[in-house]
Amino acid sequence: MPRSSRPVRRAVLVAASVLLAGALTAATSGGGDGDGGDTGPEPVAVQLLALNDFHGNLEPPTGSSGTIAGAPAGGVEYLATQLAQLAGQVQQENTITVAAGDLIGASPLLSAAFHDEPSIEALGLAGLDLASVGNHEFDEGADELLRIQNGGCHPADGCADQERPYKGAEFQYLSANAFVTDTGEPLLAPYAIKEVGGVRIGFIGMTLEGTPGIVTRSGVAGLEFRDEIETGNRYAEELQKQGVEAIVVLLHEGGTQAPNAGINDCTGLQGPIVPIAEGFSPAIDVVVSGHTHQAYNCVIAGKVVTSASSFGRLITDIDLQIDPATGNVLMATATNVVVGRDVPADPAETELVARYRTLLGPIASRQVGETTGALTRAQEPLFGTLVGESSLGNLIADAQLAATDQEQGAVAAFMNPGGVRADLDAGPVTYEEAFTVQPFNNYLTTVDLTGAQLDCLLEQQFVAERTLQPSASVAYTVDPGGVSGTAADPCSGTRVGALSIAGTPVDPAATYRITVNSFLADGGDGFSVLTQGANRVVGGLDIDGLAAYLTEVGPVAPPATDRITVS
């Protein structure tokens, strides 16, 4: 599928051959005589600025989560500046800023500690107008989402800042396919209509139909989630009956490009967004998507379909040309723009971040657990120069499995040793100390691997020259006389043997739910087989999984390093 190209801004677009096929139509000529007569009114230029999967990343993300397209990116102070600069390139009043869900939930401590109120406030300051709900908007249930929209202090924790009570979102959440079971009505407004330059644009907001399968039961209690295609087409028809012909869907569902594709490419896109876009009515012109934390820029079935990765590192700049006579979209083009940190920080956002950072102080020093002995990241030798497990790496893998076994059905977890950045001394552990161990704000990501793919993953360790830290459910042997695979064919290795999960030998044809962090899930450290994982679900932050495990288990003893043995 081709990516959507972006024309020179404000150019008069007259060549019908360059219009997107299917849903987009050419301008209708006026009553001219063919000799330079009246050609009708000029199209109205409308700019949409879009983001998705912000996940409360107020401060610049660190580690691999803080770069994209080879550049440091993200941070709400720079996001706000970039949004303002992009809007300043056109008529400011012709810009609408939108988002495709997961603005909150699975957030860093600075936002999560205050029930994500800081992120909602910051995005309002940045000029966000409309957003679809995502699955993480339901993490704390429907009542909490309504509070986030409408304002008021948290029912259990009260107001985070007594001097400035939470007022609610300055933007409108949309939830066309999330219905209250008892009433059959949408939880929030299903769509909104914005008028720009005399033309009207309809925005339909939805989350993925499968939200109940990836959110805690309490989070979706009393709600039902309906089919994306059926819902989108239903409300598109309703908008058309009101005379709205320019229609944009904000959908928290997405796809994945081929590895190493660029942020404005559409290379081998696959995933739910493809059949959904194909099934949408031709009346729908643009689909702003999300959920998979990927960047892409596509045209599917005549519709521009985009995603701006995650964590506020990209903005999708979408330009519409709309016929003022008919309201039809004549052309839609898009480009993903990196939110670099080489622009001035927005002073209002800087003040907001500093205020909440001050309030956070007591939380950072909160004790989350205790260890009975020191946990180190030093890896035990296996044979030759090969090293294996560490006590702290094993503990983190155990924590990640505990965070996703019931929620996502995970049966094993693996941690990359390079992501373990500090040791833990014996005794009490504060949240700040736990955060120092895992400072990258990676997200726990659970995928389906076949037994054969799982074996290939472990063989790939000998190509990548890095040994993954396994959860206690995993056991296998390493053969010093075996053959290592190659970068081109890691699965050809014969080093790994006697692989079992929960004491049962792994079946090459069976499917296993495996949890890793988002860095690994995207092929980090050379573990490319993980990018082939199916049914990918992005969960909470790895640091939160570790802290919860330390709290729940009680005094934690350093785990044994006997999960990998030499045959």
b/e map of 218-230 (b: 16 or more CB within 10 Å)? ebbeebebeebbe
| Residue 184: how many other CB atoms lie within 10 Å | 8
The C-alpha atoms of residue 303 and residue 206 are separated, in whole angstroms, by: 17
Beta strands 511-517 and 412-415 are parallel
What's the rounded Cα separation, in Å, for the pair 359 and 109?
11
Residue (of 326, 320, 324, 323) closest to 243 by Cα position: 326
Adjacency order of strands within the sheet including 511-517: 469-470, 412-415, 511-517, 443-450, 534-541
Question: Residues 448, 301, 187, 537: what is their CA dihedral angle, to the nearest 10 degrees?
Answer: 10
- The residues of the chain that CATH labels 3.90.780.10 are 365-566
- In DSSP notation, 114-138 reads TTTHHHHHHHHHTT--EEE--GGGG
5, 10, 15, 16 alpha-carbon torsion, rounded to 10°: 70
Yes or no: is domain 44-356 CATH 3.60.21.10? Answer: yes
365-566 CATH, one of 3.60.20.10, 3.40.50.1000, 3.40.190.10, 3.90.780.10: 3.90.780.10
Question: DSSP 3-state helix, strand, coil percentages of the chain (rounded to 5)?
Answer: 30, 25, 45
- In the prediction, which pLDDT does 215 show? 79
Given a cut of 50, the residues of the chain with pLDDT beneath it are: 2-3, 5-37
**pTM listed for this prediction:** 0.75
Evaluate whether 257 touches 294 at the Cβ level (below 8 Å).
yes
CB 150 within 8 A of CB 158: no
Tokens at 500, concatenated: 């079992």
> In terms of Cα–Cα distance, which of 391, 388, 240 is closest to 328?
240
Tokens of 387: 């090293």
Phi, psi of 20 (to 5 degrees): -65, 135
* pLDDT for the residue numbered 442: 86
Residue 32's pLDDT is: 31
Residues of the chain within CATH 3.60.21.10 domain(s) are 44-356
Q: What are the DSSP calls for 519-534, one per residue?
A: HHHTTGGG-GGGGG-E
Cα–Cα separations (whole angstroms), residue 321 to 130, 197, 234, 330: 20, 11, 25, 5
Cα 548–551–554 angle (5° rounding)? Answer: 140
Amino acid 1: pLDDT: 53
pLDDT of residue 214: 75
Element (H, E) at 458: helix 451-464
Cα-based distances in Å from 101 to 134, 290, 344, 423, 555: 4, 7, 27, 36, 38
